[in-house]
Amino acid sequence: MPGSPLYKTHTGAEYFKRITALESDRRIRSAFQDLVLRIAPPGASLFDFGAGPGIDARFFAERGFTIGAYDADPKMCEFFSSHCRDLIDSSRVTLEREKLAILVEYHDGPFSRLENAPSTPAVSAV
């Protein structure tokens, strides 16, 4: 996560190693994954924005979801591509490498553009 000490000092393989080392981090990730499994329809398409090293993308793709993923950090993308290579090759996971125009729905209004990006398809995270 940008802004955290871990992100500032480690990306890619080193980030993966550190983020999976602590039991507390593994419990939090597991709780998140369990929540998504309860609310997402089986076989749904999910978008992992800020995908990092691909931990969640791999987890959900291995459970039958189709995953689109994005991360701004080139080292994270490099590790992601290696970590999820088999799933990318089988089209279960797609890693977007271009800048994206991300849209977020505000509680009191329509979708609003948050990031100025080149002409690319807009993505809505829900």
Model's pTM, two decimal places?
A: 0.73
pLDDT at 125: 42
Mean pLDDT, the chain cut into blocks of 10 residues (126 residues total): 57 89 93 95 92 96 95 92 97 85 44 38 40
CATH superfamily of 5-99: Vaccinia Virus protein VP39 (3.40.50.150)
Q: Domain segments of the chain: what residues?
A: 5-99
pLDDT at 8: 58
pLDDT at 59: 97
pLDDT at 11: 84
pLDDT at 34: 96
Long-range contact list for 32-41, CB < 8 A, 24+ apart? 32/56, 33/59, 33/60, 36/60, 37/63, 40/65
End-to-end Cα spacing for the chain:
19
Instruction: Tell the residue number behind the tokens 């990031």, with chain if given.
Output: 115
